[in-house]
Amino acid sequence: MSPAVQEEPRTTRQGYLDCIHCGLCLSSCPTYRVLGNEMDSPRGRVHLMRAYDEGRTPITDTFVEHMFRCLDCRACETACPSGVRFGTMMEDMRGAILDERGADPLTRFVMNHVFPYPWRFHLAARLLQFYRQSGLQSLVRATGVLARIAPGYAAAEAMTPEAPLQTGVQTGHTYRAAGRARGTVALFSGCVMNSLLGDVNRATVALLNRAGFDVAVPDGQVCCGALANHAGLRDTARGMARKNLGRFPVEGVDAVIVNASGCGAMLAEYPLLVEGAEAFSSKVQDVSAFLARASFDDALTRPVRARVGYDDPCHLLHAQGVSRPPRDLLRAVPGVEFVEVAGADECCGSAGVYNLTHRELSMEILDRKMERVRAASLDILVTGNPGCLFQLRYGARRHGLDLEVTHIAEFLHRAV
């Protein structure tokens, strides 16, 4: 009998071997739709990754641009009949690029010295709020001074999120359900969510309490690491994952609830970064999916009379496969006229800081979406991720739409 042949284990990036070059992913890719260039399509990027891995191409400036032009939206994964795990391949490839070329110093500084420390992130968020509320922002915009001296920064400044002072939830605290609890969940409070969208976190806790769950908010939790991971800073992301894994109880909680889909996707994929994270990750659930499963539609009794649409965050739809639960909950609210918006499953162009690093392309993608939102004549557009929320609010302003853009937790809270 011939000895068994030992196969070398595949690396993550060798997922390109699953690609059969069928091209079914092309039309789902936002960068391909805008640019029409094969190398800015999933298939083209897969081809480039393989060529690099097999030593047929070095990492050139053009190669880097094609890789970083990808929004990591993972729409190609949903479209792919061959199961190509594009997101993890891309993150791995970006890690290799950074190993060879180093990260941009500002990105490295922010990812290593701001995001992992909740109080520093909180301080940065408060400075942003002061800038807006002190009148300084209005002055900068009215005089056009920034646009004259640094047009790039002025474009970034135009994107600063509307973020009034909002108190988030208290970490290290358990919020009790009224009456006898049917279970306990842990809340991932997030960095952006608890600093810039504190109302959403408080609404999330109120909904979970109303559904009959005690909500524990573990102390010492930090940013999930998604932005660092998407940027290719794998070790930074791994460090954040380890911190969070040490802070979250797994035994004794029914679920780990997340209300930011980018964070949810990251937490669910911790096992790709850290060994032994499976038990934690298996409990991660988006708040909309959890509430729908808990039959929360019965609690939605207060009418909200409005034409309401829903925009899928990519990392909820493509990375976590959640599409129906948020729609079912919205439809269950008395008075809501639910409208399915064309292209709701397409990326809004936010993608973390993509709207700052690739502003022109991001705006093209956003403009296409906002035209379809306009055609739907909505009163309210609901979504489930902070980046999408800020981008769509900006899109509404940019297109002069009289449209409220809100988070699903905040919206549902109006109906209980």
Q: Using CB under 6 A as the criterion, which residues of the chain lie in contact with ligand SF4 when the complex forms?
A: 19-25, 28-31, 42-43, 45-46, 70-76, 79-80, 82, 84, 86
Nearest in space to 256 (alpha carbons), one of 273, 278, 275: 278
Residue type, 256: V
Nearer to ligand SF4, 365 or 378 (CB): 365
23: left (phi over 0), alpha (psi -120 to 50) or beta: left
Nearer to ligand SF4, 21 or 180 (CB): 21
Nearer to ligand SF4, 23 or 271 (CB): 23
Nearest in space to 43 (alpha carbons), one of 89, 111, 104, 11: 89
- In angstroms, what is the minimal distance from the CB of 289 to ligand SF4? 22
- In angstroms, what is the minimal distance from the CB of 240 to ligand SF4? 22
- In angstroms, what is the minimal distance from the CB of 18 to ligand SF4? 7
In contact, 273 and 280? CB cutoff 8 Å: no
- In angstroms, what is the minimal distance from the CB of 19 to ligand SF4? 3
Nearer to ligand SF4, 82 or 143 (CB): 82
Q: d(Cα 172, Cα 70) in Å, to the nearest integer? A: 38
- In angstroms, what is the minimal distance from the CB of 269 to ligand SF4? 14
Exposed, middle or buried, 299 (CB in 10 Å: 0-12/13-18/19+)?
Answer: middle
* Token couple for 375: 């055609």
Nearer to ligand SF4, 30 or 262 (CB): 30
Q: d(Cα 46, Cα 38) in Å, to the nearest integer? A: 11
Which residues contact residue 314 at a Cβ distance below 8 angstroms, ignoring those fewer than 6 apart? 71, 73, 74, 75, 261, 347, 351
- In angstroms, what is the minimal distance from the CB of 169 to ligand SF4? 32
Q: d(Cα 139, Cα 137) in Å, to the nearest integer? A: 5
Nearer to ligand SF4, 42 or 384 (CB): 42
- In angstroms, what is the minimal distance from the CB of 78 to ligand SF4? 9
From first CA to last CA, the distance across the chain in angstroms is: 70
Nearer to ligand SF4, 23 or 183 (CB): 23
